[in-house]
Structure formats: structure tokens, C-alpha cells
């Protein structure tokens, strides 16, 4: 079967107008990018965001031969058109400002109503800022197809050049005759911008560095144990945050993380805020079979379906090296476990199908996250101070004074906190494999020490962890249970 399709794409950023007919003729495409300001908002706090395509006007006319639409040209791009546009942020205030925004698809009225060919997943595709998405079926509403952000330091101007492309695919496995003689028209725009201080910048530069818990009156700190990392430590720090109407808690700010807002987009390195759900996701198996490779477990899919689409959650490259041993003084401390999880200086292990990394949105905490969450007895030095606890293998935190001062004062031991309780110390899974075999996974006992369990065990708690991208803009709150941080 041979097909002829005519597509006309016109744009404000990209304005796509498609005329499609199926015959044995030739294929042409005309694209016009117009000079226009599609978004221009002046904010009250001294910063101005504009999206500008002026200077990027162009017209492209080209022909595609009949051969490019042959049935044998399986899943090939029959035609495409690209442009660039600029997003500018002028910051006239002190301190860094971040603006987060959506890329949206808007269908034009008065044309045919596009619907994706039955059974297909990609046909008419919009690619913006590295993300690629099938253009939605016709609707009178705007449809979000991606997210972006831009940051300007104090009293500076930032510019971001964005690439945008529309593509139409020749699908040889599907009947595209429903598009015969149809004309579709729509465009991409930048909408829903919010500006302010990013959550990561706020924690790193403005959040309180210490305090006393409202429950139990125990001290807590916001500390940096490793370069540019900021972690909350203590029995009940003021690190509560509301995300999509749920209460979560901030583990800390993690620098140089590889992330993207779209699963298949190129990753960017940046500082992300790592958070854990206050209430556990029940208890259950880490995997349905005795396999300790997180990347092939079914649990990531379950958690992603529940929490992956929450606001500002990003795809992250999670280091997934295993721990070879956790009950020796040289390999069982928080620092040693951190190195093993990330294979720093070759400290990590792999077994079976493990690849050493995983691209996903929702995981679990690492064993080292729990270790770094202790504030010890609150002293600046001594056996049971924070530094003293971090010098001891976590395997010993389940007994005696180490339990009293180290594990009991690590907030990540507890989940399901309330206004009057730090929560319950359930035994819980981590994301890290124990590589003595292919079936065991690292866990934290409710008594406060590290251990391992077979992946199919169902008695351990599941505690979802996600990373929030730079688009997370702080709105208010003080971080307490009663007044959690909120996002715009």
C-alpha cells in the first residue's frame, strides 16, 4: 500500500495545520513560524518572564517523494518541522528566582477533529524542550504536554533557548485511512507560569538550620555531611511538606542528580529535593519473585502508578549497586553504605541481572539515608553524638545506648507521624540489594539496625520516595506537622 499525506504546520511557537489525503500522489509540507510574543507576564516581586519567537521567523517548503510513504517504510517520520524560541527571565530581586511553566497543546476550532489511529501510540508527535509526546486527541481544552523551568540569580537575566518540533509518522502496521482528506490545526504555547524561590534553593540557603521538635522536645538539625548535600537529622525535624494534598517529609537536597521530566528525555544534572511519604504504603513484598534487582521488580510500577504523576516529581537515574556486607565496622557505617550504594571507589556490588542504575520516578530510601537521619544525643562530640553514631556500623544501633541515642533519634526510623506522635517504628524495605545472593534485599529493622530479607517477604513496610525537580517553588509554611511547607 502506498500513501500520500499533506501536512501544513503553522505556529505561534509551532502552529500545526495538517491536511491529509491518501492516494498515490506526492507528499508536501509547508511550515510557517510567525513572529509573536506568546507569553508575557510582569510579576509583582521584581521579575519578568517572557517567551519570544521574534527573530526566529522562517518558512520551510519541501517535498517528500512517494517512496517515503511506502507501506514498507515502517514507522518512519514522513515529515517534520522545527523551530526555536527564547524564554527570558529578568530577576530584579535579591536571591535566585525560578519560574516553572507548562508547555500546552491547543487545538484550533473550525478544523477537523484529530484522533490517534486506533492501536497506535505515536503518530502526530510534538517534541518540546527534550520531551516527546503524542499530540492529544481533539479537545476544546488545553492539554499539558511537558514542563520546563528557568532560574536567574539575584539581579541577573537568564535566557533559555528551547527547541520545538512537530512530526508526523508513517505507520505501516496501522490503517491511517481515517485521516483521508482531513485538516487539523493546533499550536504549542507556554502557559501556567509560577515564579519564586525553588524548594531546593530555600532549603540550601534560607531554611532554619536547627530547632526543637514540638513532639518530645528533642533537638534537630539541617546539616551537610557530604559536599553540597543538605539532610534533616533528629527525632522529629521540621521537614513536613504537602504534595498533592498528602503529607510528605523532606530527606534533603541532593546535588548533581541526573533527572528529566519525561521518561525518555535527555537527563540534566541539578539539585533535587528528596522526599518520603509520611504514611507508609502498607506492607508487602519487595518483589513477586526471589530476585533482588529493583529494575525488574513489579513494585516500582505499583508505586509509580500511585505517586509518579504527583506535581514536580522527576525521573532520576538511581544508583543501584548492592551492599556486600553490612555487619563489619569498615562496611556497615552510613558513609560506607553510601559509597556501596553508588559504587564509589568500587565499594558496591552487583549480582544476577543488576545493571547498577535505574531510570524511574518512585523508589525507596537507601540504607544510608536512614543512617544520616540521626542526630545522636544532640552533643557536638562523643560516642553517642551524631558524629559518634555515624562512626558506628548501623548493625549495632539496635541495642543498648546505640539504640537509645542513635536509632531512636533518627526520624526515618518512624512513619505515620501525627500531631502528637513521631510515628511508629515499622521494619521497612530499602531500595538496595544485599548481594550475598540474588534474592535478598537490605531492610531496616523496627529496632533500628540494618538487616536483610528475602524479596518475597510481605511483612516489611513500603515507604515511597521521590525527587522533586527545580520546578518545585515554595509557597509558604514553616515545616512543622501543623504548618507544613507548601508549593505553588
- For the beta carbon of residue 309, count every other beta carbon within 10 angstroms: 11
Q: Is 310 found in the same domain as 384?
A: yes
77-81, 90-94, 326-330, 361-365: the lowest-pLDDT one: 77-81
Confidence of residue 75 (pLDDT cuts 50, 70, 90): low
SS3 assignment, position 67 = helix
d(CA 210, CA 229): 16
**Is residue 410 domain-resident?**
yes
Q: Is 412 found in the same domain as 338?
A: yes
Q: What is the mean pLDDT of residues 24-47?
A: 36
**Is residue 1 domain-resident?**
no
* Residues 351 and 381 sit within 8 Å (Cβ to Cβ): no
What is the percentage of the chain residues whose pLDDT exceeds 90?
54
d(CA 43, CA 49): 8
Whether residue 73 is predicted with pLDDT greater than 80 in this model: the reply is: no
Q: In terms of pLDDT, which residue wins out, 359 or 37?
A: 359
What is the full DSSP assignment across 415-442?
Answer: BS-BTTB--B---EEEEEEBTTSSSEEE
Confidence of residue 48 (pLDDT cuts 50, 70, 90): low
Q: Which domain holds residue 229?
A: 199-487
* Residues 1 and 170 sit within 8 Å (Cβ to Cβ): no
Q: Is 14 found in the same domain as 104?
A: yes
d(CA 206, CA 475): 13
> Residue 198 CA to chain centroid, in angstroms?
15
Q: Is 88 found in the same domain as 65?
A: yes
> Residue 402 CA to chain centroid, in angstroms?
35
d(CA 247, CA 38): 36
Q: What is the mean pLDDT of residues 174-181?
A: 76
Q: How many CA atoms lie within 13 A of 79 on its CB side?
A: 25
Q: Is 259 found in the same domain as 110?
A: no
| pLDDT (0 to 100) of residue 239 | 97
pLDDT tens figures, 404-413: 999 999 999 9
* Residues 276 and 333 sit within 8 Å (Cβ to Cβ): no
Residue 487 main-chain phi, psi, to 5 deg: -115, 155
Q: What is the mean pLDDT of residues 112-133?
A: 86
Whether residue 349 is predicted with pLDDT greater than 50 in this model: the reply is: yes
- For the beta carbon of residue 283, count every other beta carbon within 10 angstroms: 15
| pLDDT (0 to 100) of residue 2 | 34
- Strands 7-11 and 27-33 come out as parallel
* Residues 352 and 292 sit within 8 Å (Cβ to Cβ): yes
| pLDDT (0 to 100) of residue 232 | 97
- For the beta carbon of residue 163, count every other beta carbon within 10 angstroms: 12
| pLDDT (0 to 100) of residue 30 | 35
Q: Is 182 found in the same domain as 205?
A: no
pLDDT tens figures, 382-404: 999 999 999 999 999 999 999 99
Domain limit, last residue, from 195, 213, 248? 195
Q: Is 269 found in the same domain as 170?
A: no
Q: Is 129 found in the same domain as 221?
A: no
Encode 369-398: b = buried (16+ Cβ within 10 Å), e = exposed.
Answer: bbbbbbbbbbeeeebbbbebbbebbbbbbb
**Is residue 441 domain-resident?**
yes
Q: How many CA atoms lie within 13 A of 476 on its CB side?
A: 2
Q: How many CA atoms lie within 13 A of 402 on its CB side?
A: 19
Q: Is 210 found in the same domain as 160?
A: no
Output the pTM of the full model: 0.85
Residue with cell 558506628: 392
**Is residue 394 domain-resident?**
yes
d(CA 224, CA 370): 15
d(CA 462, CA 440): 16
d(CA 375, CA 59): 62
Whether residue 112 is predicted with pLDDT greater than 60 in this model: the reply is: yes
| pLDDT (0 to 100) of residue 377 | 94
Domain limit, last residue, from 160, 195, 230? 195
**Is residue 337 domain-resident?**
yes
* Residues 459 and 451 sit within 8 Å (Cβ to Cβ): no
| pLDDT (0 to 100) of residue 52 | 54
Number of domains in the chain: 2
d(CA 474, CA 488): 6
**Is residue 379 domain-resident?**
yes
**Is residue 2 domain-resident?**
no
Whether residue 247 is predicted with pLDDT greater than 90 in this model: the reply is: yes
Q: Is 203 found in the same domain as 191?
A: no
| pLDDT (0 to 100) of residue 46 | 56
Q: Is 227 found in the same domain as 168?
A: no
Q: Is 349 found in the same domain as 213?
A: yes
**Torsion angle defined by CA atoms of residues 455, 456, 461 and 465, in that order, rounded to the nearest 10 degrees:** 50
| pLDDT (0 to 100) of residue 19 | 46
Whether residue 293 is predicted with pLDDT greater than 60 in this model: the reply is: yes
Domain limit, last residue, from 137, 172, 195? 195
**Is residue 449 domain-resident?**
yes
pLDDT tens figures, 7-33: 333 333 445 554 443 332 223 333 333
Q: What is the mean pLDDT of residues 352-381?
A: 95
d(CA 330, CA 368): 14
Q: In terms of pLDDT, which residue wins out, 138 or 192?
A: 138
Residue 74 main-chain phi, psi, to 5 deg: -65, 125
Whether residue 171 is predicted with pLDDT greater than 90 in this model: the reply is: no
Write the DSSP symbol of residue 242.
Answer: E
Nearest to 83 by CA among 188, 163, 187: 163
Q: In terms of pLDDT, which residue wins out, 354 or 82?
A: 354
CA gyration radius, the chain: 26
- DSSP H or E segment with residue 125: strand 124-128
| pLDDT (0 to 100) of residue 50 | 64
Confidence of residue 431 (pLDDT cuts 50, 70, 90): very high
Per-state percent for the chain, helix, strand, coil, to nearest 5: 15, 45, 45
Angle ∠(274,312,275) on CA atoms, nearest 5: 20
Confidence of residue 282 (pLDDT cuts 50, 70, 90): very high
Amino acid at each position: 500500500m502506498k500513501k500520500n499525506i499533506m501536512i501544513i504546520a503553522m505556529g505561534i511557537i509551532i502552529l500545526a495545520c495538517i491536511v491529509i489525503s491518501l492516494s498515490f500522489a506526492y507528499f508536501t509540507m509547508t511550515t510557517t513560524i510567525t513572529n509573536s510574543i506568546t507569553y508575557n507576564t510582569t510579576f509583582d516581586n521584581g521579575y519578568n518572564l517572557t517567551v519570544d519567537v521574534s527573530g526566529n521567523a522562517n518558512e520551510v517548503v519541501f517535498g517528500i517523494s512517494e517512496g517515503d510513504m511506502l507501506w514498507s517504510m515502517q514507522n518512519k517520520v514522513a515529515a517534520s518541522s522545527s523551530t526555536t524560541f527564547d524564554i527570558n527571565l529578568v530577576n530584579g530581586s535579591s536571591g535566585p528566582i525560578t519560574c516553572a511553566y507548562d508547555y500546552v497543546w491547543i487545538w484550533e476550532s473550525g478544523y477537523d477533529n484529530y484522533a490517534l489511529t486506533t492501536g497506535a501510540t505515536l503518530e502526530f508527535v510534538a517534541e518540546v524542550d527534550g520531551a516527546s509526546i503524542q499530540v492529544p486527541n481533539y479537545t476544546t481544552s488545553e492539554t499539558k504536554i511537558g514542563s520546563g523551568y528557568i532560574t536567574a540569580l539575584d539581579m541577573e537575566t537568564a535566557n533559555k533557548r528551547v527547541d520545538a518540533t512537530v512530526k508526523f509518522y508513517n505507520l505501516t502496521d496501522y490503517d491511517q485511512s481515517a485521516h483521508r482528506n482531513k485538516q487539523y490545526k493546533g499550536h504549542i504555547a507556554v502557559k501556567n507560569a509560577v515564579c519564586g524561590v525553588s524548594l531546593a534553593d530555600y532549603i540550601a540557603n534560607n531554611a532554619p538550620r536547627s530547632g526543637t521538635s514540638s513532639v518530645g522536645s528533642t533537638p534537630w538539625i539541617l546539616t551537610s555531611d557530604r559536599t553540597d548535600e543538605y539532610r534533616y537529622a533528629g527525632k522529629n525535624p521540621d521537614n513536613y511538606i504537602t504534595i498533592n494534598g498528602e503529607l510528605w517529609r523532606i530527606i534533603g537536597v541532593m546535588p548533581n542528580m541526573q533527572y528529566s521530566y519525561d521518561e525518555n528525555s535527555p537527563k540534566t544534572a541539578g539539585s533535587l529535593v528528596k522526599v518520603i511519604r509520611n504514611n507508609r504504603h502498607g506492607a508487602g513484598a519487595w518483589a513477586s519473585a526471589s530476585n533482588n534487582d529493583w529494575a525488574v521488580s513489579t513494585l516500582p510500577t505499583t508505586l509509580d502508578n500511585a505517586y509518579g504523576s504527583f506535581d514536580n516529581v522527576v525521573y532520576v537515574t538511581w544508583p543501584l549497586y548492592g551492599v556486600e556486607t553490612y555487619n563489619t565496622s569498615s562496611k556497615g557505617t552510613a558513609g560506607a553504605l553510601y559509597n556501596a550504594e553508588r559504587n564509589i571507589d568500587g565499594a558496591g556490588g552487583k549480582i544476577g541481572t543488576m545493571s547498577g542504575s535505574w531510570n524511574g520516578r518512585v523508589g525507596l530510601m537507601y540504607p544510608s539515608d536512614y543512617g544520616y537521619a540521626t542526630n545522636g544525643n544532640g552533643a557536638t562530640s562523643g560516642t553517642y553524638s551524631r558524629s559518634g553514631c555515624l562512626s558506628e556500623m548501623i548493625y549495632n544501633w539496635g541495642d543498648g545506648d546505640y539504640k537509645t541515642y542513635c536509632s531512636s533519634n533518627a526520624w526515618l526510623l518512624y512513619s505515620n507521624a501525627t500531631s502528637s506522635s513521631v510515628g511508629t517504628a515499622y521494619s521497612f524495605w530499602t531500595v538496595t540489594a544485599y548481594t550475598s545472593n540474588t534474592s535478598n534485599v537490605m531492610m531496616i529493622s523496627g529496632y533500628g539496625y540494618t538487616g536483610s530479607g528475602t524479596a518475597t517477604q510481605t511483612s516489611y513496610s513500603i515507604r515511597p520516595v521521590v525527587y522533586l525537580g527545580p520546578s518545585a517553588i515554595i509557597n509558604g509554611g514553616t515545616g512543622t506537622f501543623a504548618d507544613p511547607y507548601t508549593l505553588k
